A and B are shown apart, each in its own frame.
Chain A
Amino acid sequence: MPSTITPPEIDRHRISDGNNGHRPPTDKRTGGNGEGDGDNWNNRPRGHRGPHERISQARIGLFFALGGDLMFFVALISVFFVTKASGHFDAYDHFINSWLPTAIPSILWLNTIALLLSSVTAEIARRAMFREVDAMDEWFGLGRPVSYRAAIWLSATLALGLLFLAGQWVAWDQLAAQHVFFRSNPSSHFFYLITITHAVHLFLGIVGLIVALAALKFSRSLATRQVWVDTTVWYWHVMGALWIFLFLLLEFGQ
Protein backbone atom coordinates (compact mmCIF):
# COMPACT_ATOMS: atom_id res chain seq x y z
CA MET A 1 0.00 0.00 0.00
CA PRO A 2 1.57 3.23 -1.07
CA SER A 3 1.97 5.75 1.61
CA THR A 4 0.05 8.96 1.12
CA ILE A 5 0.78 12.26 2.68
CA THR A 6 -2.11 14.59 3.30
CA PRO A 7 -1.03 17.94 1.94
CA PRO A 8 -1.16 20.74 4.46
CA GLU A 9 -4.31 22.85 4.50
CA ILE A 10 -2.59 25.86 3.12
CA ASP A 11 -1.34 24.02 0.02
CA ARG A 12 -4.78 22.67 -0.82
CA HIS A 13 -6.17 26.19 -0.96
CA ARG A 14 -3.76 27.75 -3.35
CA ILE A 15 -5.45 30.35 -5.44
CA SER A 16 -4.84 30.57 -9.15
CA ASP A 17 -4.08 34.07 -10.30
CA GLY A 18 -5.20 33.17 -13.84
CA ASN A 19 -1.89 34.11 -15.32
CA ASN A 20 1.30 32.17 -14.73
CA GLY A 21 1.02 29.51 -12.14
CA HIS A 22 -0.03 30.06 -8.58
CA ARG A 23 0.38 32.70 -5.99
CA PRO A 24 2.55 31.70 -3.08
CA PRO A 25 0.45 30.35 -0.21
CA THR A 26 1.07 33.21 2.12
CA ASP A 27 -1.28 35.26 4.20
CA LYS A 28 -0.91 38.82 3.03
CA ARG A 29 -2.39 40.36 6.17
CA THR A 30 -0.26 42.02 8.82
CA GLY A 31 1.62 39.53 10.92
CA GLY A 32 2.47 36.98 8.27
CA ASN A 33 1.31 33.42 7.87
CA GLY A 34 0.24 32.31 11.27
CA GLU A 35 -3.25 31.39 12.41
CA GLY A 36 -4.25 30.39 15.89
CA ASP A 37 -0.86 30.83 17.49
CA GLY A 38 -1.24 34.55 18.08
CA ASP A 39 1.03 35.33 15.15
CA ASN A 40 -1.62 37.11 13.11
CA TRP A 41 -1.78 40.63 14.51
CA ASN A 42 -5.25 41.23 13.07
CA ASN A 43 -6.64 38.66 15.53
CA ARG A 44 -5.13 40.38 18.52
CA PRO A 45 -7.17 42.70 20.76
CA ARG A 46 -7.41 46.37 19.87
CA GLY A 47 -4.33 48.32 20.85
CA HIS A 48 -2.01 45.34 20.23
CA ARG A 49 -2.21 45.02 16.45
CA GLY A 50 1.20 46.29 15.54
CA PRO A 51 2.80 49.38 14.01
CA HIS A 52 0.05 50.12 11.47
CA GLU A 53 -2.54 50.40 14.21
CA ARG A 54 -0.27 52.60 16.31
CA ILE A 55 0.33 55.02 13.48
CA SER A 56 -3.41 55.16 12.65
CA GLN A 57 -4.27 55.94 16.25
CA ALA A 58 -1.61 58.65 16.42
CA ARG A 59 -2.92 60.23 13.20
CA ILE A 60 -6.52 60.22 14.45
CA GLY A 61 -5.43 61.83 17.72
CA LEU A 62 -3.54 64.47 15.78
CA PHE A 63 -6.53 65.09 13.49
CA PHE A 64 -8.86 65.87 16.40
CA ALA A 65 -6.24 67.97 18.21
CA LEU A 66 -5.70 70.00 15.04
CA GLY A 67 -9.50 70.19 14.53
CA GLY A 68 -9.79 72.10 17.80
CA ASP A 69 -6.89 74.29 16.75
CA LEU A 70 -8.49 74.99 13.38
CA MET A 71 -11.71 76.13 15.06
CA PHE A 72 -9.69 78.50 17.22
CA PHE A 73 -8.05 80.08 14.17
CA VAL A 74 -11.35 80.25 12.27
CA ALA A 75 -12.88 82.09 15.25
CA LEU A 76 -9.91 84.47 15.22
CA ILE A 77 -10.36 85.14 11.50
CA SER A 78 -14.11 85.70 11.97
CA VAL A 79 -13.43 88.31 14.65
CA PHE A 80 -10.84 89.85 12.31
CA PHE A 81 -13.47 90.44 9.62
CA VAL A 82 -16.12 91.69 12.07
CA THR A 83 -13.68 94.10 13.76
CA LYS A 84 -12.50 95.35 10.38
CA ALA A 85 -16.09 96.28 9.45
CA SER A 86 -17.03 97.60 12.90
CA GLY A 87 -16.82 101.15 14.24
CA HIS A 88 -18.80 103.64 16.27
CA PHE A 89 -21.04 106.69 15.75
CA ASP A 90 -19.62 110.06 16.75
CA ALA A 91 -21.51 113.06 18.19
CA TYR A 92 -22.63 114.07 14.69
CA ASP A 93 -23.98 110.58 14.00
CA HIS A 94 -21.14 109.80 11.60
CA PHE A 95 -19.98 106.19 11.48
CA ILE A 96 -16.27 106.10 12.38
CA ASN A 97 -14.23 103.06 11.42
CA SER A 98 -10.86 103.16 13.19
CA TRP A 99 -9.29 100.31 11.18
CA LEU A 100 -6.01 101.43 9.56
CA PRO A 101 -4.35 98.67 7.50
CA THR A 102 -0.94 97.66 8.83
CA ALA A 103 1.87 97.61 6.26
CA ILE A 104 3.17 94.05 6.33
CA PRO A 105 7.01 93.84 6.59
CA SER A 106 8.43 92.35 3.40
CA ILE A 107 10.52 89.87 5.39
CA LEU A 108 7.33 87.85 5.80
CA TRP A 109 7.70 86.77 2.15
CA LEU A 110 11.13 85.30 2.93
CA ASN A 111 9.77 83.67 6.07
CA THR A 112 7.01 82.10 4.02
CA ILE A 113 9.55 80.67 1.56
CA ALA A 114 11.59 79.26 4.48
CA LEU A 115 8.48 77.61 5.90
CA LEU A 116 7.54 76.13 2.51
CA LEU A 117 11.05 74.70 2.14
CA SER A 118 10.86 73.28 5.65
CA SER A 119 7.67 71.43 4.69
CA VAL A 120 9.51 69.89 1.72
CA THR A 121 12.43 68.70 3.87
CA ALA A 122 9.99 67.39 6.51
CA GLU A 123 8.11 65.39 3.88
CA ILE A 124 11.38 63.89 2.58
CA ALA A 125 12.18 62.82 6.17
CA ARG A 126 8.70 61.33 6.64
CA ARG A 127 8.88 59.35 3.40
CA ALA A 128 12.38 58.15 4.28
CA MET A 129 10.94 56.57 7.44
CA PHE A 130 8.69 54.34 5.36
CA ARG A 131 11.11 53.36 2.56
CA GLU A 132 10.47 49.64 2.56
CA VAL A 133 13.92 48.21 1.84
CA ASP A 134 15.68 50.38 4.40
CA ALA A 135 12.89 49.99 6.95
CA MET A 136 13.20 46.21 6.71
CA ASP A 137 16.96 46.44 7.26
CA GLU A 138 16.32 48.56 10.32
CA TRP A 139 13.54 46.26 11.52
CA PHE A 140 15.95 43.33 11.47
CA GLY A 141 18.59 45.38 13.25
CA LEU A 142 20.92 45.76 10.24
CA GLY A 143 22.04 49.29 10.96
CA ARG A 144 19.89 52.41 11.02
CA PRO A 145 19.76 53.70 7.44
CA VAL A 146 16.19 55.00 7.77
CA SER A 147 16.74 56.91 11.01
CA TYR A 148 20.02 58.33 9.79
CA ARG A 149 18.53 59.74 6.58
CA ALA A 150 15.39 61.02 8.32
CA ALA A 151 17.49 62.71 11.03
CA ILE A 152 19.41 64.72 8.42
CA TRP A 153 16.21 66.01 6.78
CA LEU A 154 14.49 66.65 10.11
CA SER A 155 17.50 68.68 11.23
CA ALA A 156 17.16 70.76 8.06
CA THR A 157 13.47 71.25 8.89
CA LEU A 158 14.36 72.31 12.41
CA ALA A 159 16.91 74.84 11.10
CA LEU A 160 14.38 76.29 8.62
CA GLY A 161 11.71 76.44 11.34
CA LEU A 162 14.06 78.36 13.63
CA LEU A 163 14.89 80.65 10.71
CA PHE A 164 11.17 81.32 10.25
CA LEU A 165 10.72 82.18 13.93
CA ALA A 166 13.78 84.45 13.83
CA GLY A 167 12.31 86.13 10.75
CA GLN A 168 9.00 86.69 12.56
CA TRP A 169 10.92 88.29 15.41
CA VAL A 170 12.62 90.64 12.94
CA ALA A 171 9.19 91.54 11.48
CA TRP A 172 7.81 92.44 14.94
CA ASP A 173 10.97 94.43 15.59
CA GLN A 174 10.58 96.35 12.32
CA LEU A 175 6.97 97.22 13.15
CA ALA A 176 7.95 98.31 16.66
CA ALA A 177 10.61 100.59 15.12
CA GLN A 178 7.77 102.23 13.14
CA HIS A 179 5.80 102.62 16.42
CA VAL A 180 3.27 100.03 15.41
CA PHE A 181 2.47 98.09 18.56
CA PHE A 182 -0.10 95.60 19.79
CA ARG A 183 -2.52 98.32 20.92
CA SER A 184 -1.82 100.93 18.22
CA ASN A 185 -4.77 100.03 16.00
CA PRO A 186 -7.31 97.20 15.58
CA SER A 187 -5.38 96.14 12.48
CA SER A 188 -1.98 95.99 14.23
CA HIS A 189 -3.67 94.25 17.16
CA PHE A 190 -4.77 91.47 14.83
CA PHE A 191 -1.41 91.36 13.07
CA TYR A 192 0.39 90.68 16.36
CA LEU A 193 -2.34 88.36 17.65
CA ILE A 194 -2.34 86.18 14.53
CA THR A 195 1.44 86.05 14.00
CA ILE A 196 2.22 85.44 17.69
CA THR A 197 -0.43 82.72 18.01
CA HIS A 198 0.93 81.00 14.91
CA ALA A 199 4.51 81.37 16.17
CA VAL A 200 3.52 79.69 19.46
CA HIS A 201 2.04 76.79 17.48
CA LEU A 202 5.14 76.55 15.33
CA PHE A 203 7.29 76.56 18.46
CA LEU A 204 5.31 73.51 19.62
CA GLY A 205 6.16 71.96 16.23
CA ILE A 206 9.84 72.68 16.88
CA VAL A 207 9.56 70.95 20.26
CA GLY A 208 7.95 68.02 18.41
CA LEU A 209 10.84 67.98 15.91
CA ILE A 210 13.38 67.91 18.75
CA VAL A 211 11.51 65.03 20.40
CA ALA A 212 11.35 63.19 17.04
CA LEU A 213 15.11 63.68 16.58
CA ALA A 214 15.69 62.37 20.11
CA ALA A 215 13.46 59.38 19.32
CA LEU A 216 15.47 58.73 16.14
CA LYS A 217 18.63 58.73 18.21
CA PHE A 218 17.55 56.88 21.35
CA SER A 219 14.39 54.84 20.69
CA ARG A 220 14.97 51.14 20.10
CA SER A 221 11.57 50.60 18.45
CA LEU A 222 11.29 51.43 14.74
CA ALA A 223 7.51 51.83 15.12
CA THR A 224 7.98 54.45 17.84
CA ARG A 225 10.40 56.37 15.62
CA GLN A 226 7.98 56.19 12.70
CA VAL A 227 5.04 57.42 14.81
CA TRP A 228 7.01 60.39 16.15
CA VAL A 229 8.32 61.46 12.76
CA ASP A 230 4.99 60.93 10.98
CA THR A 231 2.82 62.85 13.46
CA THR A 232 5.34 65.68 13.86
CA VAL A 233 5.64 66.12 10.10
CA TRP A 234 1.86 66.13 9.61
CA TYR A 235 1.57 68.76 12.35
CA TRP A 236 4.29 70.75 10.59
CA HIS A 237 2.48 70.57 7.24
CA VAL A 238 -0.77 71.81 8.80
CA MET A 239 1.04 74.73 10.45
CA GLY A 240 2.67 75.56 7.11
CA ALA A 241 -0.66 75.50 5.25
CA LEU A 242 -2.25 77.56 8.03
CA TRP A 243 0.52 80.14 7.75
CA ILE A 244 -0.01 80.48 3.99
CA PHE A 245 -3.67 81.23 4.63
CA LEU A 246 -2.95 83.67 7.49
CA PHE A 247 -0.24 85.41 5.50
CA LEU A 248 -2.55 85.91 2.51
CA LEU A 249 -5.20 87.22 4.90
CA LEU A 250 -2.79 89.75 6.43
CA GLU A 251 -1.26 90.75 3.10
CA PHE A 252 -4.40 91.04 0.99
CA GLY A 253 -7.34 90.84 3.43
CA GLN A 254 -6.83 94.17 5.17
Chain B
Amino acid sequence: MTILQGCAQCLDSTRATPPTVQAAYRHAIILLASAGATLFIAGTLLLRRQR
Protein backbone atom coordinates (compact mmCIF):
# COMPACT_ATOMS: atom_id res chain seq x y z
CA MET B 1 0.00 0.00 0.00
CA THR B 2 2.84 2.33 0.94
CA ILE B 3 4.57 1.50 -2.33
CA LEU B 4 1.42 2.23 -4.30
CA GLN B 5 1.04 5.56 -2.53
CA GLY B 6 4.66 6.32 -3.30
CA CYS B 7 4.11 5.53 -6.98
CA ALA B 8 0.95 7.64 -7.10
CA GLN B 9 2.67 10.58 -5.43
CA CYS B 10 5.60 10.29 -7.79
CA LEU B 11 3.27 10.10 -10.79
CA ASP B 12 1.24 13.09 -9.60
CA SER B 13 4.31 15.23 -8.96
CA THR B 14 5.79 14.28 -12.34
CA ARG B 15 2.52 15.10 -14.13
CA ALA B 16 2.54 18.52 -12.43
CA THR B 17 5.89 19.38 -14.05
CA PRO B 18 6.33 21.04 -17.47
CA PRO B 19 6.93 18.81 -20.54
CA THR B 20 10.67 19.65 -20.59
CA VAL B 21 11.11 18.20 -17.08
CA GLN B 22 9.11 15.11 -18.02
CA ALA B 23 11.37 14.66 -21.06
CA ALA B 24 14.43 14.98 -18.80
CA TYR B 25 13.03 12.26 -16.53
CA ARG B 26 12.46 10.02 -19.53
CA HIS B 27 16.03 10.58 -20.74
CA ALA B 28 17.39 9.86 -17.27
CA ILE B 29 15.44 6.59 -17.06
CA ILE B 30 16.72 5.52 -20.49
CA LEU B 31 20.30 6.45 -19.55
CA LEU B 32 20.20 4.51 -16.27
CA ALA B 33 18.48 1.48 -17.76
CA SER B 34 20.82 1.28 -20.76
CA ALA B 35 23.93 1.63 -18.54
CA GLY B 36 22.66 -1.15 -16.25
CA ALA B 37 21.79 -3.38 -19.21
CA THR B 38 25.19 -2.76 -20.85
CA LEU B 39 26.98 -3.71 -17.64
CA PHE B 40 24.86 -6.83 -17.21
CA ILE B 41 25.46 -8.00 -20.79
CA ALA B 42 29.19 -7.17 -20.72
CA GLY B 43 29.58 -8.94 -17.35
CA THR B 44 27.76 -12.04 -18.58
CA LEU B 45 29.85 -12.19 -21.77
CA LEU B 46 33.06 -11.69 -19.80
CA LEU B 47 32.26 -14.47 -17.33
CA ARG B 48 31.20 -16.85 -20.11
CA ARG B 49 34.47 -16.18 -21.91
CA GLN B 50 36.43 -16.97 -18.77
CA ARG B 51 34.78 -20.39 -18.23
Asked whether any CB of chain B lies closer than 8 Å to the CB of A56, the reply is yes
CB-CB < 8 A to A248: which residues of B? Answer: none
Q: Is the CB of A81 within 8 A of B24?
A: yes
Q: Mark B36-51, 1 if CB is under 8 A from A, else 0.
A: 1001001100110010
Per-residue CB proximity of B18-31 to A under 8 Å, as 1/0?
A: 10110111011101
Among B28, B29, B31, B43, point to the contact of A63 (Cβ < 8 A). B43
List B contacts of A130 (CB < 8 A): none
Among A64, A74, A78, A86, the residue within 8 A (CB) of B21 is A86
**Contact, CB under 8 Å: B27 / A67:** no
- Main secondary structure on A side of the interface with B: helix
Asked whether A75 is an interface residue with its Cβ less than 8 Å from the other chain, the reply is: yes
Does B17 sit within 8 A of A, measured CB to CB? yes
Q: Which residue of A lies closest to B36 (CB)?
A: A71
Question: Quick one: which of A25-75 are within 8 Å of B by CB?
Answer: 56, 60, 63-64, 67, 70-71, 74-75
Is B35 positioned at the interface, with any CB of A under 8 Å from its CB? yes
Set of chain B residues within 8 Å of A84, measured between Cβ atoms: 24
List residues of A whose CB falls within 8 A of some B CB. Answer: 56, 60, 63-64, 67, 70-71, 74-75, 77-79, 81-82, 84-87, 95
